[in-house]
Amino acid sequence: MGATSTLPFLFLLFLSLLLIFFTASRYPSQLSLNCSQYPSWCISKHRIQAKETTLVVETQQEGHRHLDHLTETPQHPLDPLTLQEINKVRTILSSYLPFTSSFPSINTVSLHEPDKSLVWNWNKGDPLLPRQAFVIAYLDHKSYVLVVDLGSSQVVSHVLNPYSGFPILITEDMESAVKIPFKDARFNKSIMDRGVKLSDVICGPLAAGWYGPNEEGRRLVKVECFSNQGTVNFYMRPIEGLIVTVDVDKKEVVHFVDIGHGIPIADSTNTDYRYSAQNNNPLNMNPINPISMEQPKGQSFKVDGHMVKWANWEFHLKPHPRAGVVISQAMVRDSESGKLRRVMYRGFPSELFVPYMDSSEGWYFKTYMDAGDIAWRHSESSFSNMEIREARPKITLVVRMAASVGNYDYIIDWEFQMDGLIRVKVTLSGMLMVKGTHNQNLDQAQDGQNMSGTLVSENLIGVVHDHFIIFHLDMDIDGSDNSFVNVHLKKQEASPGESPRKSYLKVQREVAKTEKDAQIKFKLYDPSEYHVVNPNKKSRVGNPVGYKVVPGGNAASLLDLHDPPQIRGAFTNNQIWVTSYNRSEEWAGGLLVYQGKGEDTLAVWSERDRQIENKDIVLWYTLGFHHIPCQEDFPIMPSVSSSFDLKPVNFFESNPILRVAPNVQEDL
Ligand SMILES: *[C@@H]1O[C@H](CO)[C@@H](O)[C@H](O)[C@H]1NC(C)=O
Ligand SMILES: *[C@@H]1O[C@H](CO)[C@@H](O)[C@H](O)[C@H]1NC(C)=O
Ligand SMILES: *[C@@H]1O[C@H](CO)[C@@H](O)[C@H](O)[C@H]1NC(C)=O
Ligand SMILES: *[C@@H]1O[C@H](CO)[C@@H](O)[C@H](O)[C@H]1NC(C)=O
Ligand SMILES: [Cu+2]
């Protein structure tokens, strides 16, 4: 008993230790950014450098094992491009006409996946499907969206400037952008007038967004700066009101805003979050002894190339330059028939939206872990006269990715459970984006409690903001043709004399016919379950087999629908969307999201109102957080999490983990 109840605790603690380690080691303390050392600012570094997209498998027993793309050859049609393949793409492009005199900057190069039906029909041992690369290149103010066929060495698809926006910035763009303000004497003067040494300045590239025609036609970055004098946590020392808009292509200052004179730069005292900086001040807490977790018989998962096999699950796992981690072909073995059954073709975080900044993604590393918890338990109690106490340990496989997006860290976990459930969990940590203020204390604040945020420390306001992340979940429940069902709970009034009751609940199933039927906003007093079912496949007793999406904590965007950021982040207008499968519709904020106007977003696709009943459909889930900062978020935020589940609903004939053996003492 003792062992089962402490395991979840150990697990949590282990995770938080990991986070502390992770967040403590990654922020720049030099003026010039070195992206090999500080990828937090260098979001797209791994795009072209295959060396950095190694799959790291962390286990208790083996430490780190690297599957190196230098020597790897693809084994599966969905395997990412290898280093040799990326080099071949480079060779093909360098003799491609638009690029013969000048090689473009490569924003993305990733596998152009074969058609879904071909992939599902492919079996291990079959010849590999033709390999193609999807490339976004940028040259002379033009965006090229290309598909390169590696077999024929041909560019087989070429689209120029398909949308208003630009590709997401690459490392070189960001590195050069943060240097541009230093060319402007006004900038240097403003810094020095504020009593800051130029050598103590660290600047960050912030996405410009899209706020109207003035900003069209050129790639812009808004550069904001901090002082790192006396701290590694420069985020807590903003140089307020100094915002330099730069043109990344012309490398010139476009707009110079300098309004923060007189606003002091917050003191560096207490901003360092490293243990070594705590000066042995007492913790005032009972000490926690070191813990270790072990699996005496070794790990239970197998990694075969990019296929992961664990308990009753099998799936393909790969890194992706934009999504981070992509889970493909997730299949669960049926506990009765022993057959592998399809659940999801592809799942990945599709877009991130943080109103007041912009979206972009990076990824760091991923970890699998086996952990502990209760899957189901039951104690038969006195009135049945039975003495039965049975419990099964809950073991989950966690696929983790950690992404740094500027000041924030996003940790995304895909937890696979033996009962067929997939839990998708998002954890936020990192540094607040803070605003400098004159005020040292709330007493001095004219508008008191009405500030744009919370005074989190002297001279620092933690500004209110939201975080949204949307997941692309291409469900294929026992096949590609699925339907989305709103299982609506409705209050019924009992008719007089019918019952001593006045009201009861009734379930009403509404199958979504078109995309607009599946634009779902959550309502506590008008509840529903949301099922993705295969109407062509029935259980023994006749229910369509399915999975339901089970929401956890969530937040909706309250911005005006016509607010420019909201037009671009319109995927947050609903918590659930269902679209007709279209391989081009992957990025909820648009393919070329940088400064995009929002003409290529999930909201636009969904408005086409295509048929979705008994069709190949994609489920989208928006997870949101409102963040009203508080003092505890200073100088670094304790992590905050939320999740949702994909849970079998009439998918298995009965409890699929009934036959799982209980743990015995000798196992532990
Ligand atoms: C960047 O950091 C890497 C790894 O620490 C180092 O090898 C490289 O020389 C550095 N580059 C520059 C330009 O400082
Ligand atoms: C601004 O300061 C930087 C760093 O000292 C220096 O390299 C640069 O030349 C200065 N710019 C101008 C316009 O003086
Ligand atoms: C905050 O704003 C509300 C609404 O505008 C106003 O009634 C209130 O007086 C303000 N409070 C302070 C302390 O300024
Ligand atoms: C697929 O998506 C692209 C991009 O949204 C769109 O241009 C195309 O018309 C779509 N095709 C279908 C059949 O909906
Ligand atoms: Cu936040």
Query: Best mutation site among 31, 184, 188 for ligand 2, i.e. most ligand atoms within 8 A of its Cβ?
Result: 188
Ligand nearest to the backbone CA of 616: 4
Q: What does the mean pLDDT of the chain come to?
A: 82
Atom 6 of ligand 1 has which residue's CA nearest to it? Answer: 36
Which of ligand 4's atoms lies nearest the C-alpha of 604? 5
Least confident of 30-34, 337-341, 545-549: 30-34
In this structure, which residues have their CB less than 5 angstroms from ion ligand 5?
A: 627
Which of ligand 1's atoms lies nearest the C-alpha of 34? 1
Q: How many CB atoms are located within 10 Å of the residue 410 CB?
A: 23
State if residue 605 touches ligand 4 by the CB under 6 angstroms criterion: yes
Instruction: Assess whether pLDDT exceeds 90 at residue 645.
Output: yes
Which three-class secondary structure state does DSSP give residue 192?
Answer: helix
Instruction: Assess whether pLDDT exceeds 50 at residue 381.
Output: no
pTM of the model as a whole = 0.85
DSSP string, 449-518: GGSSEEEEETTEEEE-EEEEEEEEEEE-TTSSEEEEEEEEEEEEEPPTTT-S-SEEEEEEEEE--BGGGG
| Residue position matching structure tokens 């230093």 | 182
Least confident of 134-148, 352-366, 546-560: 352-366
Atom 10 of ligand 1 has which residue's CA nearest to it? Answer: 34
Centre of ligand 1 to C-alpha 45, Å, is 13
Atom 1 of ligand 4 has which residue's CA nearest to it? Answer: 582
Q: How many CB atoms are located within 10 Å of the residue 301 CB?
A: 18
Contact between 225 and 204 under an 8 Å Cβ cutoff? The reply is yes
d(CA 444, CA 447): 9
User: In this structure, what DSSP letter does residue 601 have?
Assistant: S
In degrees rounded to 5, what are phi and psi of residue 113?
-65, 145
Atom 5 of ligand 1 has which residue's CA nearest to it? Answer: 37
More confident residue, 364 or 488: 488
Q: What is the CATH number of domain 83-160?
A: 3.10.450.40
* Interval 603-619 mean pLDDT: 98
State if residue 449 touches ligand 3 by the CB under 6 angstroms criterion: yes
Centre of ligand 3 to C-alpha 438, Å, is 19
d(CA 391, CA 615): 40
Please give the pLDDT value at position 431. 84
In degrees rounded to 5, what are phi and psi of residue 612?
-130, 5
* Interval 377-386 mean pLDDT: 42
State if residue 182 touches ligand 2 by the CB under 6 angstroms criterion: yes
pLDDT in tens, 98-149: 999 999 999 999 999 999 999 999 999 999 999 999 999 999 999 999 999 9
Instruction: Assess whether pLDDT exceeds 70 at residue 640.
Output: yes
Contact between 255 and 49 under an 8 Å Cβ cutoff? The reply is no
Atom 4 of ligand 2 has which residue's CA nearest to it? Answer: 198
End-to-end Cα spacing for the chain = 12
Contact between 410 and 428 under an 8 Å Cβ cutoff? The reply is yes
Task: Name the token pair of 583.
Answer: 């391989």
- What is the percent of the chain where pLDDT is above 70? 82
Atom 1 of ligand 3 has which residue's CA nearest to it? Answer: 450
Query: Best mutation site among 25, 33, 35, 37 for ligand 1, i.e. most ligand atoms within 8 A of its Cβ?
Result: 37
Task: Name the token pair of 159.
Answer: 């689209």
State if residue 34 touches ligand 1 by the CB under 6 angstroms criterion: yes
User: In this structure, what DSSP letter does residue 28 have?
Assistant: -
Instruction: Assess whether pLDDT exceeds 90 at residue 648.
Output: yes
Q: What is the CATH number of domain 17-22+301-376+388-667?
A: 2.70.98.20
State if residue 450 touches ligand 3 by the CB under 6 angstroms criterion: yes
- Residue ranges per domain, the chain? 17-22+301-376+388-667, 83-160
Instruction: Please give the distance of CA 83 from its chain centroid, rounded to a whole number.
Output: 25
Q: How many CB atoms are located within 10 Å of the residue 412 CB?
A: 23
pLDDT in tens, 576-592: 999 999 999 999 999 99
pLDDT in tens, 240-289: 989 899 999 999 999 998 988 888 999 998 888 888 888 878 888 898 88
Peptide bond before 77: cis, by omega within 30 degrees of 0? no
pLDDT in tens, 44-69: 322 222 222 233 333 322 334 455 55
Residues involved in catalysis: 370, 408
The CA-atom distances, in angstroms, between 77 and each of 50, 122, 150, 310, 504 are 18, 8, 13, 21, 52
State if residue 192 touches ligand 2 by the CB under 6 angstroms criterion: no
Centre of ligand 4 to C-alpha 250, Å, is 34
Task: Name the token pair of 478.
Answer: 């026992």
Task: Name the token pair of 334.
Answer: 């049926």
Q: Which of 259, 233, 260, 255 is nearest to 244 (CA)?
A: 255
Please give the pLDDT value at position 206. 81
Centre of ligand 4 to C-alpha 330, Å, is 25
d(CA 299, CA 294): 9
d(CA 619, CA 579): 7
Atom 14 of ligand 1 has which residue's CA nearest to it? Answer: 34
Centre of ligand 5 to C-alpha 407, Å, is 10
The pairing of strands 220-227 and 238-247 is antiparallel
Please give the pLDDT value at position 295. 75
Centre of ligand 4 to C-alpha 585, Å, is 7
Please give the pLDDT value at position 390. 59
Ligand nearest to the backbone CA of 583: 4
Which residues, 6 or more positions from 231, have their beta carbon under 8 angstroms from its beta carbon?
237, 268, 271, 272
For residue 109, list its beta bridge partners: 135
Instruction: Assess whether pLDDT exceeds 80 at residue 14.
Output: no
* Interval 470-499 mean pLDDT: 95
Which three-class secondary structure state does DSSP give residue 319?
Answer: strand
Which of ligand 2's atoms lies nearest the C-alpha of 182? 1
